[in-house]
């Protein structure tokens, strides 16, 4: 099973917001939202990118889909570099890489019926044929909606129904990779489960790979084969989902897992509470960028950025004093 998506040392920079930011003494004129990320996604695999708001997850996803410019680094799809391609050259790539956006209703045009929304990808890529109506009905059926939903407008849909339409639009052209940005955001817990089960079913049926962007660790455990944890635009730990849940190495990963809601009211939970706020990207901490919030930070952490430690079997982390080490 080869890599479908290859991300290597990718940086995404934006101009610093506001003229005061650019004039402040020592402040950078750009913000590095993604700072040297490397990650692979294999065909048919589900990989989750996890982190707090502002960690760079969505920016990374949009860079993969060509929606934001990559400042440096390599993004390859099916062995072909795609950074710097023109809009015309990105057309075939976008047929194979689709996106489910975060806002279920807001990502659907309020002026179009569901039928028109689902027909749009076929028209854009000049694939609309005589069987278009049959294709649309098939898509609705695949996501658990009846044909009469085709005549509805987005404001006539519940959040769960709108999310199903978004999923149907994403799989319309039978892509090889679907990027799902917070696919359960704003949905009731029961509906979240339905959406995740739907994605699992479609993956089994169509063989698609999924890159899922989320801060919901229950979602990760339910759907992801591997997970990557981002902090301040960098991946601090990556590996098989169950292995990381069982023995997280980076303190930030440990903190995220310990903050995960526990449905059992009688369960004893040892919470790790992080101190302070997430640092500004305009003022990145020296050394290990997590040291300002880490309970185990030492002088070395303040002065020296940790190297990547490779444990094999796809597990990597960056920490001078990792948790859960053998012995």
One DSSP character per residue, 190-251 reads HHHHHHHHHHHHHHHHH--EEEEEES-HHHHHHH-SEEEEEETTEEEEEEEHHHHHHS--SH
pLDDT computed for residue 326 by the predictor:
59
Query: CA 4 to CA 148: how far, in whole Å?
Result: 36
**Hey, where are the domains in the chain?**
43-69+86-285
Nearest to 70 by CA among 82, 59, 83: 83
Residues of the chain with confidence (pLDDT) below 70: 1-2, 17-28, 260-271, 326-327
pLDDT computed for residue 22 by the predictor:
53
pLDDT computed for residue 327 by the predictor:
42
Q: Which is the CATH superfamily of the domain at 43-69+86-285? A: P-loop containing nucleotide triphosphate hydrolases (3.40.50.300)
Which residues lie below 8 Å from residue 303, measured CB to CB, with a gap of 6+? 286, 287
DSSP 85-97: --HHHHHHHHHHE
Query: CA 68 to CA 12: how far, in whole Å?
Result: 8
Tens of pLDDT along 123-154?
A: 988 887 778 999 999 999 999 999 999 999 99
Nearest to 94 by CA among 70, 140, 62, 116: 62
Tens of pLDDT along 24-42?
A: 555 567 889 999 999 999 9
Q: In what order do the strands lie in the sheet with 46-50?
A: 97-100, 177-181, 209-214, 46-50, 226-231, 234-240, 315-317, 309-312
Check: pTM over 0.85? Answer yes or no.
yes
Provide the residue count of the chain. 327
Query: CA 223 to CA 205: how far, in whole Å?
Result: 15
DSSP 29-64: SEEEEEEEEEEEEETT-EEEEE-STTSSHHHHHHHH
Query: CA 163 to CA 160: how far, in whole Å?
Result: 5
The tokens 């997970």 sit on which residue?
227
pLDDT computed for residue 267 by the predictor:
52
Query: CA 258 to CA 239: how far, in whole Å?
Result: 18
């Amino acid at each position: 099973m080869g890599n479908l998506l290859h991300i290597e040392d990718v940086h995404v920079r934006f101009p610093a917001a506001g003229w005061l930011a650019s004039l402040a003494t020592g402040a950078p004129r750009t913000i590095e939202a993604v700072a040297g990320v490397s990650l692979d996604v294999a065909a048919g695999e589900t990989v989750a990118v996890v982190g707090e708001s502002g960690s760079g997850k969505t920016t990374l996803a949009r860079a993969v889909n060509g929606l934001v410019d990559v400042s440096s680094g390599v993004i390859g799809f099916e062995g072909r570099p795609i950074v710097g391609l023109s809009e015309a050259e990105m057309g075939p790539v976008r047929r194979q890489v689709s996106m489910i956006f975060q806002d279920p209703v807001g990502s659907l045009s309020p002026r179009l019926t569901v039928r028109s929304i689902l027909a749009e990808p076929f028209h854009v890529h000049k694939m609309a044929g005589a069987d278009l109506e049959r294709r649309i009905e098939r898509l609705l059926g695949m996501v658990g909606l009846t044909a009469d939903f085709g005549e509805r407008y987005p404001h006539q849909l519940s959040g769960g129904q709108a999310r199903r339409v978004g999923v149907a639009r994403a799989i319309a052209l039978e892509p090889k990779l679907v990027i799902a940005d917070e696919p359960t955001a704003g949905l009731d817990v029961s509906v979240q489960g339905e959406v995740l089960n739907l994605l699992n079913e479609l993956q089994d049926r169509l063989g698609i790979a999924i890159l899922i962007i989320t801060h919901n660790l229950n979602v990760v455990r339910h759907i992801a084969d591997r997970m990557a944890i981002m902090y301040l635009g960098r991946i601090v730990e990556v590996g098989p989902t169950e292995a990381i849940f069982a023995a997280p190495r980076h303190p930030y990963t440990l903190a995220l897992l310990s903050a995960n809601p526990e449905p059992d009211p009688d369960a004893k939970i040892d919470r790790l509470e992080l101190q302070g706020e997430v640092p500004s990207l305009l003022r990145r901490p020296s050394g290990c960028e997590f040291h300002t919030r880490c309970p185990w930070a030492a002088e070395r952490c303040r002065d020296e950025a940790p190297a990547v430690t490779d444990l094999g079997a796809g597990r990597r982390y960056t920490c001078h004093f990792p948790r859960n080490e053998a012995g």
